[in-house]
Structure 1
């Protein structure tokens, strides 16, 4: 048996409900084995009355979920025409006690960026620096959520399909080993969209944390962290822009 969280959009209370689902784990690294586990995970969620579920990962049986994986979701910067995936940008923005950010990773493929040895050999993670903006480590998922959602906003077709779902899983996400989760980030995007919290195709970091503060407030320490961040960063400017991505359309096949 295994346990994975499912993130459910609660529009009425404007929050994300996390429900841990127990299911049969099918060992093995093949997509077929992963999809057996996903099927059992979703079936057990259905038995609890949870419907309209999307698996968000490169192993998803739904093509939309594969496109929405952080490995495949991409955008392009306006100023320098730099194409990047969410995963590559996330890894390339890490600042460690002994190095970073390793900006060259931003233009690498997702798998290479994640496996780059510098990520594991550069000491303690201190913060994230994406172009000219620095993000703190708290709230814990702040930078990853912001990066994922802003990238998705540049992919209008994917965004319009994503909001048709109300619960999200990621078979690869183990909360005992990881902090950031693309399924949570997508649930957050759907909540913000349906609650009419997004008024443009980009969310500057300070606007984002203001909008999400109550959602992150499920932990009192995160509330305090976000309040401290806002008070200490009033003068930070949003100094880069993304443009709509032309690299993925729904009729294409996502990268392996």
Structure 2
């Protein structure tokens, strides 16, 4: 047996995402078939307590094309200068460690190559992110990843239109004991911002995104600093 979180779109929840841990039968093995058997058990057990929910696996192991397309490995970012790379590649390339980074050459790599680059594991402690000239602290947790993913998704018309038909999201590869950022959580946040009618406002600036999605975590020490982050990075371009 295994236990993993389901990220649920919830416009009434502070932060717009609620989490429900679900226990299910785990099928060991690295094949897609084995992963999908685990996903089936995962979703089945979740639906037993949430029969009206529409759940979608967000990963390359998803049994739905939409879920595969929404994997951070496959969801693409296109910049104003016509560069194109995946969300995963951008995330890895933005990491700054004690002994190196950001490794901007990773923007030319595939998602798998970027994630497995030995420098990511051998450069010491992660200290912040740097994305096209802007520095991002590690707190609030998931802030940079959620912002990056949400922007990329919002500019993909077809995917963003389809995904709002769902309200709960999983990632069979995500283990909260080992990782912090999760693409399924980012999707749930996107759907909530859309359904709450504040998506456009949230994406108007970095500070506004933080206020809406992470404002409940704010403290007096970071209010002054947040006010300086008022301009959205105008590097994105709409995807076809």
1:38-91 CA-to-partner distances (Å, cap 9, x unmatched) read: 00000000111252000000100011000000000002100x211011000000
**1:132·1:239 contact (CA, 8 Å) conserved in 2?**
no
Partner residue of 1:154? Answer: 155
Query: 1:1-256 counterparts in 2 under 5 A?
Result: 1-13=1-13, 15-50=16-51, 51-78=53-80, 80-199=81-200, 202-214=203-215, 217=216, 222-224=217-219, 228-236=221-229, 237-246=231-240
Give the distance between the partners of 1:107 and 1:245, measured in 2 at CA: 19
- 1:7 aligned counterpart, secondary structure: strand
Secondary structure of the structure 1 residue equivalent to 2:177: coil
Q: How far is the alpha carbon of 1:167 from its aligned partner?
A: 0.4
Mapped contact 1:133–1:238 kept (Cα < 8 A): no
Q: Tell me the number of residue pairs that the alignment of Structure 1 and Structure 2 aligns.
A: 237
Using structure 2 for the length normalisation, give the TM-score: 0.93
Aligned in 2, Cα 1:207/1:177: closer, same or farther, shift over 3 Å? Answer: same
Query: Relative to 1, partners in 2 of residues 1:155 and 1:168: Cα closer, same or farther, differing over 3 Å?
Result: same
- SS of residue in 2 equivalent to 1:240: coil
Normalised by the size of structure 1, how large is the TM-score?
Answer: 0.88
Residue 244 of structure 1: CA displacement?
1.3
SS in 2 for 1:44: helix
- Residues in 2 aligned to 1:67 and 1:201: alpha-carbon distance in whole angstroms: 23
The residue aligned with 1:253 is none
What is the Cα-based RMSD across aligned positions, in Å?
1.7
What runs of 5+ residues in structure 2 fail to find an aligned partner? none
